[in-house]
């Protein structure tokens, strides 16, 4: 799988993921909004950790890395 996220993109995703997780537990993780925030947090943290965003591929092979790396 080729990476398609640069370091700034990955950092922003990690920060958003942590904020979303904190917000989810603040509003109640069992509520509808809490569950939605946990899903957002999981997606953001997973894509930040792997450096790959499937949505970028769907939207026309977007790449914030600058060049493809394995």
Phi and psi at residue 3, to the nearest 5°: -75, 145
Q: What is the pTM of this model?
A: 0.84
| Per-residue pLDDT band at 33 (split at 50, 70, 90) | very high
Quick one: how far is CA 20 from the chain centroid? 10
70, pLDDT greater than 80? no
User: How is the chain split into domains, by residue range?
Assistant: 7-58
């Amino acid at each position: 799988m080729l990476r398609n996220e640069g370091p700034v993109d990955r950092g922003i995703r990690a920060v958003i993921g942590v904020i979303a997780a904190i917000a989810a537990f603040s509003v109640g993780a069992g509520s509808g909004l809490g569950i939605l925030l946990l899903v957002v947090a999981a997606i953001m943290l997973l894509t930040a950790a792997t450096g790959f965003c499937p949505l970028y591929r769907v939207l026309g092979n977007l790449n914030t890395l600058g060049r493809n790396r394995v």
